[in-house]
Amino acid sequence: MAMDHWQKSSYCGEGDACLSVAATPGRAIQLTESADPAHSILATDPATWARFLRSLKESDNHG
């Protein structure tokens, strides 16, 4: 995957190692550490990724 397709959170500071996310043409969601975007460390499907994000938002609202 080309490096320019990776998106890093706007909450990540300059030079910080953060989680980067990319969607592949086959609709897989790939996750990697922003310091090393050439190596995908996890891949999932869009529905699972959406559930994960929803659970993070819900836990943030309860904490």
Does the pLDDT at position 62 exceed 70? no
Q: With bands split at pLDDT 50, 70 and 90, how would you rate the model's confidence at 4?
A: low
Question: pLDDT tens for residues 11-37?
Answer: 888 777 888 898 888 889 998 887 777
Tell me the C-alpha distance between 4 and 62, whole Å: 35
Does this model's pTM top 0.85? My answer is: no
Closest CA to 22 of 35, 34, 10: 34
Where do runs of H (alpha helix) occur along the chain?
Answer: 46-62
Does the pLDDT at position 3 exceed 50? no
Question: pLDDT tens for residues 30-51?
Answer: 988 877 777 777 899 999 999 9
CA distances from 14 to 10, 22, 29, 35, 56 (A): 10, 19, 24, 11, 23
